[in-house]
């Protein structure tokens, strides 16, 4: 599925979950807005009660009746201001067109808020005695309140714009991360699919050779083993990591097929600590190395040859080793990394999955043969799955 396409089929459970999440966000937003209004009301009341009107000895709770309605009404109006911010965003592209709209709307909304505030104060408290009506009280306060009200409007507008910007940034980061994940998965899938025809063609070539030699029963045994291997690989083609125990089991089956061809010439041993079998490793990561060892270390040489697969945990890392004794040791020997699918495939998959934390090294053995070593971060399969 292309990264830009999303599934259109959504389950009722998924839709209910999204609706519940939306309700929780709305309730959280309402709680935060009214908590902020309460905090601002407390600050304003404290300043008024113990500052300007300190000489009058006005009780704190009486001053609260004059200041709290103002901020709670602003809290009630904030959804409208936030909607205006989304409808006419003051961003890099639209601020020239939209800022004048807000500068017209802000004074109007300030007057509406102030009129409502004066009306509420006249009900729950009492307007100062020097005013004969709510309207017179409103017109007197409006002259000094306009600029402060515009500041509050712009503050709410800016908070909404900042939240929208943060949300869009997070959505873009999540979309980018999702695209990267899908790209990496597609690349890994393509790399794994390289293994299947490479392994298949090599094995079919060996079966053809056995048929031409007249070894029909051996060819049939090898073909049966090949069928089991292909069935396993197809059943697990979507898994990028598997427990090492499962990877070793696949290798055993693969080597059984190869031993049908080489008979007593191929001797296999495994040197694995039990705890390492619980480690998570890339699926089919060892098979190309084992195939490479058999092809170059066993096939061209007469006499029995030994192939060893080893694994151990070292300082929080997993070390996997495939070695053979099929070629004489040469300190100057270096693998031809431009030839063959196996080594390139293994290195590319390790890089895609673990970045610089994993590596493959291929070198001449101390006495004979070639040693291929994979080092990658240690993690238990149960923790990774």
Per domain, the residue ranges of the chain are: 12-178, 239-384
The pLDDT mean for the chain works out to: 76
- The answer to whether residue 215 scores a pLDDT higher than 90 is no
Instruction: State the pLDDT at residue 67.
Output: 76
Contact 58/67 with Cβ under 8 angstroms? no
Average pLDDT over residues 96-118: 85
Name the band, by pLDDT with cuts 50, 70 and 90, for residue 11. Answer: very low
Say yes or no to pLDDT of 322 above 50. yes
Question: In this predicted model, which residue has the larger pLDDT, 42 or 7?
Answer: 42
Q: Is the pLDDT of residue 110 over 90?
A: no
pLDDT value of residue 111: 86
CA dihedral 333, 339, 340, 346 (to 10 degrees): 70
Question: Which of the pair, 131 or 120, is modelled with greater confidence?
Answer: 120
pLDDT value at residue 126: 66
Higher pLDDT: 340 or 21? It is 21
Segment 124-140 shows an average pLDDT of 71
Would you say 374 and 314 are in contact if contact means Cβ atoms under 8 Å apart?
no
Q: What is the model's pLDDT at position 376?
A: 94
In the predicted model, is pLDDT for residue 341 greater than 70?
A: no
Instruction: DSSP letter for 47, please.
Output: H
Average pLDDT rounded to a whole number, residues 266-276: 89
- What is the structure's pLDDT at 17? 63
Residue pair 372/289 in contact (Cβ under 8 Å)? The answer is: yes
Burial 152-169 (b: 16+ CB within 10 A, else e): bbeebbebbbeeeeeeee
Nearest partner of 290 among 315, 266, 317, 272, judged by Cα: 266
Q: What is the pLDDT of residue 4?
A: 37
Among 28-32, 86-90, 239-243, which is the least confidently predicted range? 28-32
For residue 79, give both structure tokens.
């959804």
Domain 239-384 classification at class level:
alpha beta
Q: Mean per-residue pLDDT for 297-313?
A: 82
Residue at token pair 């080893």: 310
Query: Could you report the per-residue pLDDT of 162-186, keeping only the tens digit for each?
Result: 888 888 888 888 877 775 665 566 5
Of 194, 343, 358, whose CA–CA distance to 279 is shortest? Answer: 358
Could you tell me which residues are beta bridge partners of residue 312? Answer: 319
pLDDT score for 321: 94
Identify the DSSP state of 11: -
Most confident range (mean pLDDT) of 115-129, 255-269, 303-317 is 303-317
């Amino acid at each position: 599925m292309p990264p830009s396409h999303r599934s259109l089929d959504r389950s009722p459970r998924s839709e209910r979950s999204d609706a519940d999440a939306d309700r929780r966000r709305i309730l959280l937003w309402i709680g935060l807005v009214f908590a902020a209004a309460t905090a601002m009301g407390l600050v304003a009341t404290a300043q008024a009660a113990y500052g300007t009107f300190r000489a009058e000895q006005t009780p704190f709770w009486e001053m609260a009746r004059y200041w709290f309605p103002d901020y709670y009404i602003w809290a009630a109006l904030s959804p409208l201001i936030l909607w205006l911010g989304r409808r006419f965003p003051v961003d890099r592209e639209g601020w020239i067109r939209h800022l004048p709209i807000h500068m017209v709307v802000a004074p109007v909304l300030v007057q509406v808020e102030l009129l409502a505030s004066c009306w509420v104060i006249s009900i729950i408290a009492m307007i100062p005695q020097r005013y004969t009506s709510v309207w017179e009280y409103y017109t007197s306060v409006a002259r000094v309140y306009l600029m402060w009200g515009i500041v509050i409007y712009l503050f709410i507008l800016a908070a909404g714009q900042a939240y929208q910007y943060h949300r869009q940034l997070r959505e873009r980061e999540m979309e980018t991360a999702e695209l990267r994940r899908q790209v990496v998965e597609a690349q890994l899938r393509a790399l794994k699919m390289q293994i299947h025809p490479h392994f298949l063609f090599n094995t079919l070539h060996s079966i053809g050779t056995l048929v031409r030699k007249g070894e029909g029963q051996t060819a049939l045994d090898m073909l049966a083993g090949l069928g089991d291997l292909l069935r396993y690989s197809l059943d697990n083609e979507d898994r990028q990591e598997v427990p090492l125990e499962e990877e070793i089991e696949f290798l055993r089956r693969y080597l059984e097929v190869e031993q049908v061809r080489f008979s007593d010439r191929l001797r296999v041993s495994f040197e694995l600590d039990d705890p390492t079998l619980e480690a998570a490793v890339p699926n089919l990561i060892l098979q190309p190395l084992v195939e490479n060892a058999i092809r170059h270390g066993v096939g061209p040489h007469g006499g029995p040859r030994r192939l060893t697969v080893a694994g151990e945990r070292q300082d929080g890392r997993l070390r996997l080793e495939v070695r053979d004794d099929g070629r004489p040791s040469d300190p100057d020997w270096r693998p031809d990394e431009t030839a063959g699918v196996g080594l390139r495939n293994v290195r590319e998959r390790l890089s895609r999955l673990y970045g610089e934390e994993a590596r493959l090294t291929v070198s001449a053995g101390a006495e004979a043969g070639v040693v291929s070593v994979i080092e990658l971060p240690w993690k238990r399969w149960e923790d990774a799955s």
